[in-house]
Amino acid sequence: MVFQYIAYNEKGEIVKGKLPATSEEAANDLLGYAGYQAINLKPYIPFLNVEKLTAGLFRVKPGDVILIYRQLAMLLESGIDIVASLELLQEQATNRALKRVLDDVISELRTGHQLSRALGKHPHVFPPIYCRLLGVGEQSGDLETVLNQVADYMEKEVTTTKETKSALMYPVVTSLVTVVVIAVLVTFVLPQFGTMYGSLGVEMPASARLLIDLSGKLKEYWAYLMLGTLAVLVLAYFYIKTPKGRARWDRLVLRLPVLGSVIHLSELSRLCRSMSLLFRTGLPLTEILPLLIQSSRNRALSEALGGVQQGMIKGEGISQPMTKNKLFLPMMVQMVRVGEETGNLDVTLLAVARSYEVEAEDKTRSLIALIQPAMTLIIGLVIAALAFSLVSAMYSIYGQGF
């Protein structure tokens, strides 16, 4: 979360600003580490985040942002100045939301602001972690290279996300088909059988009687069932939107069988690659960790990074605090320790990222291969159970002389 502070520096000057941190205590520690003495510190809550509302309605796809980065790097390398380059990209853009964002960025550049700062005013399109990298590129005079590096990183991240979504798509669609088939059987088929057996006055097997009774109850109370399910889903949605609920949900996701392991490895790979890229550009770890905490998509991992940040402030480095949290896998902790001792932290982190990416891809392929027969078997068992109950009822009619 983001905290708003008023503090004074070592010269006694009053300074104001905003700071990302996991808690108020962590924000206080970071201010102290930077040489500031906090006077007032509180969570920053904007009255109305218009940009966030607009981003939800008119979304800029990651692929569009990647293309902007690549084309901007190419235009800058060809000698075109940055404002003219962005104007060309704005003319070519087909996404209206992106056009508006680029128009604002161009206006900021014309008033003398740097590209990183202009892009940073649109965090829902250009994440802060990338803007900070571009700021380093501006300072070093190597903006084109950094733009290409960020584009490469984002492409890898988008590919990983698509693979995870593809692994989820089949079971979701199959589950919906199963629910529809069962709903049709329970709503239309079973009541007809119940009416027929009742008119014949035969005693049905327990399984068939249970299904027909269940069908009757569902048909009678379906509206209440739908409203109850909808209410539970709405309450769960709003609970997950709270910091505590989001953290619990993210922990639950990481504990899911097979799929949780894929998501866990993907998140750690993303974390290691981000840290490697930031460290390679020369940023200190005191600045890298807050950026990673802010950009993390998993609240449980974000809280774990907050613990690492606290340990680093106490002088424990980063590998030692990682050993205290099971979310950081042993190989990652060991490689981080080696990187700290040798001074090649960016190299070791990149090696871990590649290793976890390969492992996540293997697990994803295995998951997709496992899901199809598993879901087919589940559907078959459900349909078989329904068919067996109905057939056994028919045999009971013949057995009673009909």
List the CATH number of the domain containing 104.
1.20.81.30
pLDDT higher than 70, residue 89: yes
Q: Which residue has the higher pLDDT, 71 or 295?
A: 71
Same domain, 59 and 135: yes
| In-domain check, residue 131 | yes
- pLDDT (average), residues 82-104: 89
With a CB cutoff of 8 Å and minimum separation 6, the contacts of 222 are 187
How confident is the model over 19-37, as pLDDT tens digits? 766 667 777 777 777 778 7
Domain boundary among 155, 178, 211: 155
Cβ distance 255 to 300 under 8 Å?
no
| In-domain check, residue 9 | yes
List the CATH number of the domain containing 40.
3.10.20
Confidence of residue 55 (pLDDT cuts 50, 70, 90): very low
| In-domain check, residue 249 | no
Q: In terms of C-beta density within 10 A (0-12 exposed, 13-18 middle, 19 or more buried), how is residue 119 classed?
A: buried
Name the range with the highest mean pLDDT among 65-74, 239-248, 253-262, 371-380.
65-74
Confidence of residue 384 (pLDDT cuts 50, 70, 90): confident
- pLDDT (average), residues 183-200: 71
pLDDT higher than 90, residue 399: no
Residue 220 pLDDT:
77
Confidence of residue 380 (pLDDT cuts 50, 70, 90): confident
Same domain, 63 and 124: yes
Domain boundary among 155, 180, 208: 155
Short-list 253, 277, 278, 282, CA closest to 265:
253
Same domain, 10 and 105: no
Same domain, 7 and 70: no
| In-domain check, residue 313 | no
Confidence of residue 363 (pLDDT cuts 50, 70, 90): confident
DSSP assignment, residue 255?
T
- pLDDT (average), residues 142-167: 83
| In-domain check, residue 227 | no
Same domain, 40 and 92: no
- pLDDT (average), residues 53-72: 77
Q: Which residue has the higher pLDDT, 202 or 297?
A: 297
Q: Which residue has the higher pLDDT, 16 or 327?
A: 327
| In-domain check, residue 171 | no
How would DSSP label each residue in 293-339?
HHH-S-HHHHHHHHHHHHHHHTT-TTHHHHTT-TTS-HHHHHHHHHH
Same domain, 31 and 85: no
Strand order across the beta sheet in which 14-20 lies: 14-20, 2-8, 37-43
The span from the CA of 40 to the CA of 353, in Å, is 39
Cβ distance 67 to 347 under 8 Å?
no
Residue 17 belongs to domain spanning: 2-45
Confidence of residue 323 (pLDDT cuts 50, 70, 90): very high
pLDDT higher than 70, residue 3: yes
Residue 393 pLDDT:
65
Domain boundary among 113, 140, 155: 155
- pLDDT (average), residues 313-326: 89
Same domain, 86 and 122: yes
Q: How many Å separate Cα 22 from the centre of its chain?
A: 18
Same domain, 89 and 38: no
Residue 36 pLDDT:
81
How confident is the model over 238-278, as pLDDT tens digits? 988 888 888 889 999 888 887 788 889 988 998 998 888 88
Same domain, 133 and 76: yes
| In-domain check, residue 383 | no
Q: Which residue has the higher pLDDT, 363 or 193?
A: 363
The span from the CA of 67 to the CA of 113, in Å, is 23
Helix axes 128-140, 259-280, angle to 10 degrees: 20
Same domain, 56 and 113: yes
The mean pLDDT value of the chain amounts to 81
Residue 194 pLDDT:
67
Q: How many Å separate Cα 391 from the centre of its chain?
A: 47
pLDDT higher than 90, residue 328: yes
The span from the CA of 134 to the CA of 147, in Å, is 7
Residue 205 pLDDT:
67
Residue 281 pLDDT:
80
Q: Which residue has the higher pLDDT, 380 or 338?
A: 338
Confidence of residue 73 (pLDDT cuts 50, 70, 90): very high
Helix axes 243-254, 299-313, angle to 10 degrees: 100
Confidence of residue 321 (pLDDT cuts 50, 70, 90): very high
Q: Which of 79-88, 166-175, 218-227, 249-258 has the lowest mean pLDDT?
A: 166-175
- Number of domains, the chain: 2
Same domain, 65 and 144: yes
% of the chain residues with pLDDT over 70: 87
Residue 277 pLDDT:
85
Residues for the chain: how many in total? 402
The span from the CA of 82 to the CA of 70, in Å, is 13
Q: Which of 150-154, 255-259, 359-363, 375-379 has the lowest mean pLDDT?
A: 375-379
Same domain, 69 and 137: yes
| In-domain check, residue 358 | no
